[in-house]
Amino acid sequence: MDNSFRQSVLLRWADMDPNGHVRHSVYYDLGASIRVAFLSAHGATIEQMETQHFGPILFREEAVFRREIRYGDALWINLVVTKLRHDGARFSFRHEISRTDGTLCATINVDGAWIDTRLRKLTAPPDLVRSMFETAPRSADFEWQ
Predicted confidence (pLDDT) per residue in 95-137, tens digit:
999 999 999 999 999 999 999 999 999 999 999 999 999 999 9
Dihedral through CA 78, CA 34, CA 67, CA 19, nearest 10? 160
Predicted TM-score (pTM) of the model is: 0.93
- pLDDT at res. 130: 94
- pLDDT at res. 52: 96
Q: What does the chain come to in residues?
A: 145
CA-based diameter of the chain, in Å? 46
Question: Cα–Cα distance between 135 and 137 in angstroms, integer?
Answer: 6
Q: 5-144, superfamily in CATH?
A: Hotdog Thioesterase (3.10.129.10)
- pLDDT at res. 3: 77
Residues of the chain with pLDDT under 50: 1
Say which amino acid occupies 48.
Q
- pLDDT at res. 36: 97
- pLDDT at res. 1: 43
Question: Cα–Cα distance between 103 and 35 in angstroms, integer?
Answer: 22
